[in-house]
Amino acid sequence: MAITFNTDKKYDIIAIGRACIDLNANEYHRPMEKTMTFTKYVGGSPANIAIGSAKLGLKTGFIGKIPEDQHGNFIKQYMSEKGVDTSNMVFDTEGRKAGLAFTEILSPEECSILMYRDNVADLYLDPTEVDESYIKQSKVLLVSGTALAKSPSREAVFKAVSLARKNDVKVIFELDYRPYTWKSQEEVSIYYSAIAEQADIVIATRDEYDVMENRQTEGDNQETVNNLFQYEAELVVIKHGVDGSYAYEKTGSIHHGKAYKTQVLKTFGAGDSYASAFLYALMNGKDIETALKFGGASAAIVVSKHSSSEAMPTVSEIEQLIKDQSVD
């Protein structure tokens, strides 16, 4: 089955959350202590998803707070050049900074991110900076879970979600769990559950659902989806890294998407590229099986490249990879 979206809207996706800076190690296969140079990219999961979606041709906008400095200017200019509407990205006037994510590429399997997110501008997005007249123009509001980590960004997201529901805008919740900034798993669970219960589509890894469910051990996919289907969700996606992903429809259908073979350089960026291509396919009326292929192929392309945002693929690159590996 395909998912339907309100066609009478100017934007396909408006994302809310952080737009930051990634500093990706230029020297691979060595620890951070021995990494001397980095390349700067725009980063932050929802910014990456917005950029990836825009590159695929979706009409995309962004709601977020960025620093009023050179990094903020860089982020805004880059996103705008990539086709993201930045009219609702506001500058922080209190001297707060951009979040920085330094990546360590020890091996294709062992990557980590060292995050600097104290006093970051994105978590100071205020509810008064969330504009109903903007949100109502979109088919989809894409919410990043990290924006729920602190007030006032937390309340800004709650406001955006309630405006989306009021104005027939589908809410897509990407759990995007980053332990940094949260006080406890209990706290994450409370706020993630509150937004997941209002979301039409929920996308996360198995581990992220375990955090949302406040579990210490791995939960069961069917139990997770049964719980979400009691609320607004019509589609729940559960990602399993190299084992691919599953999409569960409220109707009871279950679809599996494989991971594509690729030359892995680093693992991060997989989830964001997956989300942008999965949503692109859904919003272009493709069935869920095809959307899973788009997500998996897009992720395979990004994990073979150096960045997350700059490496986002085109539709023809994704289609080519799906075609090349269609018999495997």
> Of 163 and 238, which CB lies nearer to ligand LN3RO5KU in the complex structure?
238
The residue of the chain with the least Cβ separation from ligand ATP equals 271
Q: Which of 71, 170, 239, 293 binds ligand ATP (CB under 6 A)?
A: 239
Residues within window 178-207 making contact with ligand ATP, judged by CB under 6 A:
205
Closer Cβ to ligand ATP, 35 or 262, answer by number:
262
Which CB, 85 or 272, lies closer to ligand ATP?
Answer: 272
CA atoms within 13 A on the CB side of 219: 20
Residues in the chain: 328
Element (H, E) at 29: none
Q: Is the dihedral of CA 204, 208, 211, 217 positive or negative?
A: positive
Tell whether omega for the bond before 46 is within 30 degrees of 0, i.e. cis.
no
Q: What's the closest the beta carbon of residue 243 comes to ligand ATP, in angstroms?
A: 7
Pair 48, 269: CB distance under 8 Å: yes
Q: Of 103 and 153, which CB lies nearer to ligand ATP in the complex structure?
A: 103
* Minimum CB distance to ligand ATP, residue 242 (Å): 5
Please name the amino acid found at residue 27. Answer: E
Place of tokens 């991971």: 259
Integer-rounded Cα Rg, in Å, for the chain is 18
From the list ligand LN3RO5KU, ligand ATP, none, which binds 57 (C-beta under 5 to 8 Å, kind-based)?
A: none
- The window from 15-23, 35-43, 145-153, 236-244 that contacts ligand ATP (CB under 6 A) reads 236-244
Whichever of 20 and 121 has its CB closer to ligand LN3RO5KU, that residue is 20
How many whole angstroms separate alpha carbon 175 and alpha carbon 145? 4
CA distance 303 to 96: 31
CB atoms inside a 10 Å sphere around CB 153: 28
Q: How many residues bind ligand ATP (CB under 6 A)?
A: 22
Strand order in the sheet with 38-43: 38-43, 20-25, 100-105, 111-116
Nearer to ligand LN3RO5KU, 101 or 123 (CB): 101
Do the strands 245-249 and 254-257 form a parallel or antiparallel pair, or are they unpaired? antiparallel
Q: Which does 139 bind (CB under 5 to 8 A by kind): ligand ATP, ligand LN3RO5KU, none?
A: none
Q: Cβ of residue 51: shortest distance to ligand LN3RO5KU, in angstroms?
A: 10
Residue 161 binding target from ligand ATP, ligand LN3RO5KU, none, CB below 5 to 8 Å by type: none
- Rule CB under 6 A: which residues touch ligand ATP? 205, 239-242, 244-245, 259-260, 262, 264, 267-272, 274, 296, 299-300, 303
